[in-house]
Chain A
Amino acid sequence: MTLAEKILAAHCGRNQVSPGELINVRADMVLANDVTAPLAIKEFRRLGVSRVFDPQRVVLVPDHFVPNKDIPSAENAKILREFSREQGLVFFEVGEMGIEHVLLPEKGLVVPGDVVVGADSHTCTYGGLGAFATGMGSTDVACAMATGDIWMRVPPTIRFLYHGQRQKWVGGKDLILHTIGQIGVDGAIYSALEFDGEAITALPMDARFTMANMAVEAGAKAGLFPVDEKTLAFVKDRARRPYQAYETDPDAQYQEVRQFDVSTIEPQVAFPHSPANVKPISQVGRIDIDQAVIGSCTNGRIDDLRIAAQVIKGKRVAPWVRCIVLPGSPEVCLQAIQEGLMETFIRSGVAVSTPTCGPCLGGYMGILADGERCVATTNRNFVGRMGSPGSEVYLSNPAVAAASAILGRIAGPEEVM
């Protein structure tokens, strides 16, 4: 069995599962945010139960439009707060709140071998820990909140093997953008992805989260990494529960196996309006920008901020360009302050925000006007994603976003270093 199949089998009390089978899966963690939880709570009430299945295994994170962007957002955050108090749930108030997919691994609320269902499509991020994590809608999550389990069809697994050594400035974002560029936004529809190979072993945890995060951008149900020493070191002082790491069997059956030589991969940029519309940085041409956003559940971790600060240090953001850095969590924020990254950013003319999903989905904190262009370390560049339907978003890694902010056009870090 593949890693995905092993985790699913263990969570439905069976020795074996095969792709296509329908199973009822026990969930180790169920989550929702301020966009999806109000609807989930409404559906939960319809179920006629008074309590969630386990208050330690349901977590609500207000992060999309919080700190409250307007009155309706305030009302939604209030619904989460009141429900969490009533049920005794794990809840993160503004000040402790981070972007859910940065926060939960950091807090040890998700661990290797888990099944996680979340009312947010980027729930697949926890695959970076070797968990089977998948996004669903509010109604599915409402039912999981009540019962602690959920129906799933066992997905086939596609294996991606990455060989060779990464070029300088190439990170997890570039590997996943390159991969999506190759297979398309529906290239992995309904499948689980398994990332492996020596280039993956060499990849730091933050970069693994970045790659797992964008599995959904290829249509995948989940994207999983093998559990290794780096994973164990990450969870060592964080895990709030005992966990079991699973391993892919040597004779596992895959729907498809693809190989990548990472030594040939340059930093990638996804052009509007699809994460699959990628070009290597050397072929981008002249694209002037109005804004650069560095953050999100994709690239809002400490390694991302370190890379951005390294590129930006001692330089100035270009005139007429807004550069916004959004640390993914209070821990990331504090670490960035202790390392002096925040001072670097502010002295360079960067605006620094408290954690929020804000601009990534066109919520607030960096909305684009008609005709404006933004380079962003986020995950989607659909029409209108960051504001006006006449605006454009280009996806990149943090080094490219930082270099672009300095030059006022999309550029690789080598141009400014």
Chain B
Amino acid sequence: MPKPSYNGTTYRMEAKALILKGYVHKYGANVDTDVIIPARYLYTSEPAELAPHCMEDIDPSFQLRVKPGDIIVATTNFGCGSSREHAPIAIKAVGISCVIAQSFARIFYRNSMNMGLPILESDEAVAGTEKGDELEVDLTTGQIKNLTRGLTFQAKPYPPFVLELIEAGGLVEYTKRRLQAQKAKS
């Protein structure tokens, strides 16, 4: 397993690849969890049942255009609103490989990390990317390349504790280890 050099990757436990490549679906500010996955579908948390409804209220043609590996790019406060973990589940299940935004709502940020959906913050990448551009994202370095425009951007590094969680394989694995250590002590 490659050692991350970037003070900030990586969903390597979850992400199938460390280099993600896909086409951009671009949105503005305050994309809320109700449009990411409307509450009328919250009777289930099954990824396969949520995926066909992802983004349907904000972008009805998204489902026709989206291809595995595609990347969502948005401006500020992505994922605001409800605490539903169904939002990152639906985004991941529909095949989106990562979300790049200027900022994320805090509950969505935690949920994405827990779900293994890579999310990156970068003002420049958002400014320098348009709908339909092809991006290549290196999760080990945080480097974002816009292949269509020949531009390169750098994502903000993750905070060290977030890295620690990722190293452990996510919050459930991290907590499992903590509980086992406590048990061994007692």
* Interface, chain A (partner B; CB < 8 A): 22, 35-36, 38-39, 42-43, 46-49, 64-65, 70, 72-73, 76, 118-121, 123, 135-140, 142-143, 146-147, 151, 153, 185-186, 189-190, 219, 221, 274, 361-363, 380, 382-385, 387, 389
Contacts and interface: CB of A to CB of B under 8 A. Distances in A.
A146 B80 CA distance: 27
A364 to B, nearest CB: 9
A139 B171 contact: yes
A314 B77 CA distance: 45
Contact of B111 (A47, A137, A153): A137
B161 A151 contact: yes
A147 B179 contact: yes
Interface stretch (B1-9, B10-18, B38-46, B140-148): B38-46
B138 interface: no
B172 interface: yes
Interface in B104-118: 105-107, 110-111, 114-115
A146 B175 CA distance: 9
B33 to A, nearest CB: 8
Nearest to B44: A72
A189 B105 CA distance: 7
Contacts of A140: 110-111, 114, 171
Contact of B84 (A35, A73, A383): A35
B179 A362 contact: no
B66 interface: no
B127 interface: no
A120 B106 CA distance: 13
A121 B82 contact: yes
A121 B107 contact: yes
B129 interface: no
B43 A383 contact: no
B19 interface: no
Contacts of A186: 29-30, 76-77, 80, 103, 105
A384 B35 contact: yes
B81 interface: yes
A76 to B, nearest CB: 7
Contacts of B107: 121, 135-137
B58 interface: yes
A121 B40 CA distance: 17
Instruction: For the complex of A and B, list the 6 residue pairs with the smallest distance between their C-beta atoms, beginning with the closest.
Output: A72-B43, A137-B111, A186-B77, A139-B114, A384-B57, A137-B85
Nearest to A40: B85
6 contacts: A47-B172, A186-B30, A186-B80, A186-B105, A189-B103, A221-B106
Interface in B149-186: 159, 161, 171-172, 175-176, 178-180
Contact of A219 (B57, B80, B111, B175): B80
B45 A39 contact: yes
A185 B80 CA distance: 8
Contact of A35 (B35, B42, B171): B42
Contacts of A76: 43
A384 B80 contact: no
B32 interface: yes
B180 to A, nearest CB: 8
B34 interface: yes
B99 to A, nearest CB: 15
Contact of A46 (B58, B83, B84, B172): B172
Contact of A274 (B30, B44, B57, B110): B30
Interface string B71-101: 0000011001111111000000000000000
A119 B175 contact: no
Contacts of B58: 383
Contact of B114 (A35, A137, A221): A137
A221 B106 CA distance: 8
B179 A146 contact: yes
Contacts of A38: 45
Nearest to B60: A389
Contacts of B32: 380, 382
B57 A22 contact: no
Nearest to A75: B43
Contacts of A65: 42-43
A48 B176 contact: yes
Contacts of A389: 38, 56-57
Nearest to A118: B83
Contact of A138 (B34, B85, B178): B85
A43 B83 contact: no
Contacts of A151: 161
Given A35-B42, A382-B35, A47 B81 contact: no
Contact of A139 (B34, B44, B111, B180): B111
Contact of A121 (B56, B57, B83, B180): B83
B178 A185 contact: no
A361 B39 contact: yes
